[in-house]
Structure 1
Amino acid sequence: MADNFIVTTTENIPGKNYEIIGEVFGLTTQSKNVVRNLGANLKNIVGGEIKAYTEMLDDARNVAVDRLKDNAKNMGADAVVMMRFDSGSIGTDMQSVAAYGTAVKFK
């Protein structure tokens, strides 16, 4: 079944009136295994995209959004507006990703 829960980066959802419930977050921290880190270090020498890290960040972003949705639903929300991402590195091989926004309930 498709997830019809709305997550948008905009402040308004066309045709919807809502009340604000509060801030909502989805967080994750991920790392790659030793073999992929070795490959990334080798790629660092010649340059170019390090696909293992790109995939890790894409996965982390998806996990963060899924957790954001779950947290919003647990608050009784119908949607999340003004969703944003923040990320940062922890050490040399871990990335933390936060998805955050405002949980709202349709009137």
Structure 2
Amino acid sequence: MSNIAEYGGGQEQGSAVLVVTTNDVPGYRVDRVIGEVFGLTVRSRHIGTQIGASLKSLMGGELKGLTKTLVDSRNQAMERLIEQTKARGGNAVLGMRFDVTEAADLGTEICAYGTAVVISPAS
């Protein structure tokens, strides 16, 4: 059984900033659109993880070390997205997405991005 904290991610309950992948939040209205926000991290490859992943890929199966690294990286990008939103006065991010690319053959760039807004309960 996998540990959800190690191999999963997402937002903590009760966070000051709501992050959703949808373009609206049922029961809320958008009072103000602040604009695009993003959180970015670039992770270099750990040589031990790379060697282990290479050996594991020969036999098949999940590359758990790489999975955990990607989860950690996405969570860090998400934290930075939330920090940017709070700093700009927002309390929600709509249309959040992740983008993952290779960074000059040195590592992996993970970007969490979306639209920062101010929302309030619909009356």
Aligned to 2:70: 57
Aligned to 1:8: 20
- What does 1:31-42 correspond to in 2, within 5 Å? 31-42=44-55
Asked if 1:88 is matched to 2:86, the reply is: no
Q: CA deviation at 1:2?
A: 4.4
Q: Runs of 4 or more off by more than 4 Å in structure 1?
A: none
AA at the equivalent of 1:76: G
Deviations 1:14-62 (A, max 9, x none): 2212221100001111134222221112112222211111111111110
Deviations 1:68-88 (A, max 9, x none): 000010000011001011101
Q: What is the rounded CA distance, in whole Å, between the counterparts of 2:79 and 2:38 in structure 1?
A: 10
Q: What is the rounded CA distance, in whole Å, between the counterparts of 1:106 and 1:33 in structure 2?
A: 41
Query: Structure 1: where are the runs of 5+ without partners?
Result: none
Asked if 1:70 is matched to 2:83, the reply is: yes
How well do the aligned residues superpose, as a CA RMSD in angstroms? 1.7
SS in 2 for 1:48: coil
Query: Structure 2: where are the runs of 5+ without partners?
Result: 1-12
SS in 2 for 1:39: helix
CA contact (8 A) 1:77 1:104 kept: yes
AA at the equivalent of 1:24: V
Report percent identity of matched pairs: 42
Q: CA deviation at 1:11?
A: 0.8
Aligned length, in residue pairs: 106
- TM-score, length basis structure 2: 0.78
